[in-house]
């Protein structure tokens, strides 16, 4: 109402000891450790808590669990972090950051926050389907989140595009809804053997490797796809109701461009100590340059970042006290 009247209302301005941007494995682990250190912790998340891992249906390589869903694992970690005082703010879009100043500034749609230290843990976004007509069918048959949208296609024909672990996990998950499911990938599988074996054992699934999706067809929504078998040199059309795209990820660093040093692949330049080129700013998880990207290494990054951020704040406060004297 105020906006309609042309009145701009000032945003609330608040101070936090530490702000963590991103509520995936790295961010929530950092929140847990920072909360246990009795710091005033705020976790900001633009989208769903959990990030990419929230969609995983059967994680079998996280220590302490024979198998666990991403939703369960992240839910438990969020509860742990909140139980020690961390606040998780979901769906509060971040508009602007100032990282080189002290205090650091993080502005969202609802508030302006100041913080002594910031941990960047925004992870990765799914790569978009590289076809010119893809945006026309967004949420009209083209989707990027099986956990969010899979239920819309009960007893329908579903395609999963991709051949890595995320794609295979998505296909295994979507069989609970699909009447028929195609997994289409341009080359060979890149997924773990255990996940692939589970996929191949499901009678609902037909795997089309060395196959490219060339076009999307349909009037109001997706109705067909045109595919090309590279081995047989054959082109054909498949009647489908939806395609879930899992063809890789890109680092979610656009918000920080011009504020922090980025590597050649667009990830944040930070070592195993998670320190960036800005004092008091740390990068944890898939967002930073690293050779190995696993849930366990994301948790390790979050742990390291929180502990070093606490030490940084101790030095900062000591310096402030010294100046007063």
Query: Is residue 149 pLDDT above 60, yes or no?
Result: yes
Same domain (yes/no): 121, 266: yes
Examine the domain organization and report whether 120 and 139 are in the same domain.
no
Q: Per-residue pLDDT averaged across 249-254, rounded?
A: 88
Based on the fold, state whether residues 270 and 205 are members of the same structural domain. Answer: no
User: Residue 3 falls within a domain, yes or no?
Assistant: no
CA trace torsion 58, 242, 51, 65 (10° rounding): 0
**Range with top average pLDDT, 108-112, 239-243, 249-253, 259-263:** 239-243
Distance CA 41, CA 44 (A): 10
- Shared domain for 173 and 308, answered yes or no, is no
Residues 121, 186: one domain?
Answer: no
**pLDDT tens digit sequence for 226-237:** 999 999 999 999
Other residues' Cβ atoms within 10 Å of the Cβ of residue 250: 14
Question: Across all residues in the chain, what is the average pLDDT?
Answer: 91
Domain that holds residue 208: 128-245
Backbone angle region of 291, left / alpha / beta, with phi > 0 → left and psi within -120 to 50 → alpha: alpha
Per-residue pLDDT band for 3 (boundaries 50, 70, 90) equals very low
258 and 118 within one domain: yes
Instruction: Give the tens place of pLDDT for each residue, 170-185.
Output: 999 999 999 999 999 9
**Same domain (yes/no): 148, 217:** yes
- Domain termination site, one of 190, 213, 245: 245
**CATH number of the domain where residue 223 is located:** 3.50.50.60
Among candidate residues 196, 229, 245, the one where a domain is terminated? 245
The answer to whether position 114 is within a domain reads: yes
Structure tokens at 38: 């009795």
Q: Please say which residue of 245, 264, 299 terminates a domain.
A: 245
Query: Which pLDDT belongs to residue 47?
Result: 81
> Residue 285 pLDDT > 50, yes or no?
yes
One DSSP character per residue, 69-93 reads -HHHHHHHHHHHHHHTT-EEEET--
- Which residue numbers are catalytic? 145, 148-149
Note the pLDDT tens digit of each residue in 126-138: 888 999 999 999 8
Least reliable range by pLDDT among 29-33, 155-159, 243-247, 316-320: 316-320
Domain check: are 182 and 92 in the same one? no
Residue 303 has pLDDT above 80, yes or no: yes
Q: Using alpha carbons, select from 303, 301, 273 the residue that is nearest to residue 287.
A: 301
State the pTM of this model: 0.74
**Structural domain tally of the chain?**
2
pLDDT above 80 (res 148): no
Q: What pLDDT is recorded for position 323?
A: 77
- Residue 117 and residue 72 share a domain: yes
Does residue 142 share a domain with residue 84? no
Bridge partner residues of 183 (DSSP): 160, 207
Question: How does residue 306 score in pLDDT terms, banded at 50, 70 and 90?
Answer: very high
More confident call, 291 vs 95: 95
Of 14, 18, 50, 24, nearest to 37 (Cα)? Answer: 18
Q: For residues 295 and 315, state if they share a domain.
A: yes
Residue 250 is predicted with a pLDDT of 87
pLDDT (0 to 100) of residue 28: 97
142-143 β-sheet, strand order: 142-143, 242-245, 157-161, 180-184, 205-208
In a domain, residue 22? The reply is yes
The answer to whether 208 and 182 are in contact (CB under 8 A) is yes
- Chain segment 106-126, per-residue pLDDT in tens: 999 989 999 999 999 999 888
Query: Taking 70 as the threshold, does the pLDDT of residue 57 lie above it?
Result: no
DSSP summary character for residue 174: H
Residue 146 located in a structural domain: yes
Same domain, 117 and 17: yes
Strands (E), 99-240: 104-108, 111-120, 124-126, 142-143, 157-161, 180-184, 205-208, 211-217, 224-229, 234-239
Residue 44 has pLDDT above 90, yes or no: yes
What is the reported pLDDT for 10?
78
Q: Assign 9 a pLDDT band (cuts: 50, 70, 90).
A: low
Is residue 2 situated within a structural domain? no
């Amino acid at each position: 109402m105020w906006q309609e009247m042309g009145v701009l209302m000032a945003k609330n301005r608040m101070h936090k000891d530490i702000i963590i941007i991103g509520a995936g494995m790295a961010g929530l682990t950092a929140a847990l450790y920072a909360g246990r250190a009795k710091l005033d912790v705020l976790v900001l998340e633009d989208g769903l808590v959990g990030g990419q891992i929230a969609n995983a249906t059967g994680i079998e390589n996280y220590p302490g669990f024979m198998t666990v869903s991403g939703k369960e694992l992240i839910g438990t970690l969020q509860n742990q972090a909140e139980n020690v005082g961390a606040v998780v703010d979901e769906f509060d879009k971040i508009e602007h950051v100032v990282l080189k100043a002290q205090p650091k500034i993080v502005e969202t749609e609802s508030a302006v926050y100041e913080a002594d230290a910031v941990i960047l843990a925004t992870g990765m976004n799914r790569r978009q389907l590289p076809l010119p007509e893809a945006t026309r069918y967004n949420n009209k048959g083209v989707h990027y989140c099986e956990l969010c949208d899979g239920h819309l296609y009960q007893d329908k024909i579903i395609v999963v595009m991709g051949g890595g672990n995320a794609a295979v996990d998505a296909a295994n998950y979507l069989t609970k809804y699909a009447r028929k499911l195609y997994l289409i990938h341009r080359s060979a599988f890149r997924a773990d053997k255990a996940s692939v074996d589970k996929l191949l054992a499901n009678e609902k699934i037909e795997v089309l490797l060395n196959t490219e999706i060339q076009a999307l067809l349909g009037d109001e929504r997706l109705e067909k796809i045109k595919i090309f078998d590279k081995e047989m040199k054959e082109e054909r059309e498949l009647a489908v109701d939806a395609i879930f795209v899992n063809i890789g990820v890109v680092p979610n660093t656009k918000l920080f461009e011009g504020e922090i040093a980025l590597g050649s692949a667009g990830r944040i330049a930070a070592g195993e100590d998670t320190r960036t080129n800005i004092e008091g700013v740390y990068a944890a998880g898939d967002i930073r340059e690293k050779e190995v990207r696993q849930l366990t290494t994301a948790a390790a990054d979050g742990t390291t970042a929180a502990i070093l951020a606490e030490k940084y704040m101790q030095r900062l406060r000591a310096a402030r006290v010294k100046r007063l004297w």
